[in-house]
Amino acid sequence: MNLEHITYIGPKLDEEAEILAALPDNLVSLLKQINGFVQYGGGLHLRGVCNSPEWHSIGSMFHGKFALNKIYTSISEEDIPFAEDCVGDQFLIRDKEIIKLFSETGEIEKYGYGLSTFLDESSKNPVDFLGMEPLLQLQSNGSSLEPGQLIHVYPPFCTKEAKNGVSLKAVPSNEVLHFLYDFSKQISGLGENERVEVKIVE
């Protein structure tokens, strides 16, 4: 695994945390060496076992108030939300294999391999594998992601309007994720030509 371009390292691992028993051995082994990190300027965020900061906590996304399984019907209580990309799409471990949750729509993609291969692939070609194009565009405009931020994309990529271009803004991750959660609920069950209205509140 290539650990270059690290911009944030999580706090010391809480080895007494109950959640460790639910994590696969290879993830626990990694977190004992480095308790999560942000890589490629926000292209990959691998969560750690900690109470603070909340945005870095696997437990918060696994069992907390806004746990993914409470929001997305495609996610089960056993799916482990260990990482995310720059726009808030989530990577989870299901039966020792990686799945990707597209947070705008709630759809999932099965990768067919485990954590080690996922980390190798993300190191080999991070731009393509992690979908870092929005981050590169944000950076080309003179902005960057700080630890704890994600890119807010508007209009969402899955909309017809996005074909005309989107705006990209660095926003605290909890705000981006809550927007995506709400949006996914609004579009759930919509037909192909049905519309949803999104209001932006400053």
pLDDT in tens, 45-94: 999 999 999 999 999 999 988 899 999 999 999 999 999 999 999 999 99
Q: Which domains does the chain have, with CATH numbers?
A: 6-123 (3.40.1580), 133-187 (no CATH)
- Which of 120, 178, 189 shows the shortest CA–CA distance to 150? 178
With a cut of 80, say whether residue 194 has pLDDT above it: no
Ramachandran angles phi, psi of 139, nearest 5°: -65, -35
pLDDT at 201: 41
pLDDT in tens, 84-127: 999 999 999 999 999 999 999 999 999 999 999 999 999 999 99
Of 22-31, 160-169, 185-194, which range is least confident? 185-194
pLDDT for residue 189: 61
Residue 86's pLDDT is: 98
Dist. CA 30–CA 44, nearest whole Å: 15
Q: Are 162 and 155 in contact (CB under 8 A)?
A: yes
* Residue 91: both structure tokens together: 């990577």
If one counts every other C-beta atom within 10 angstroms of the C-beta of residue 195, the result is: 9
Q: List C-alpha distances in Å: 174 to 2, 90, 109, 110, 170.
A: 28, 13, 23, 25, 12
Banded pLDDT at 193 (limits 50, 70, 90) = low
Using a pLDDT cut of 70, give the percent of the chain over it. Answer: 92
* pLDDT of res. 52: 93
Cβ pair 71, 34 in contact under 8 A: no
Q: Any residues with CB less than 8 A from the CB of 186 and at least 6 apart, and which?
A: 196, 198
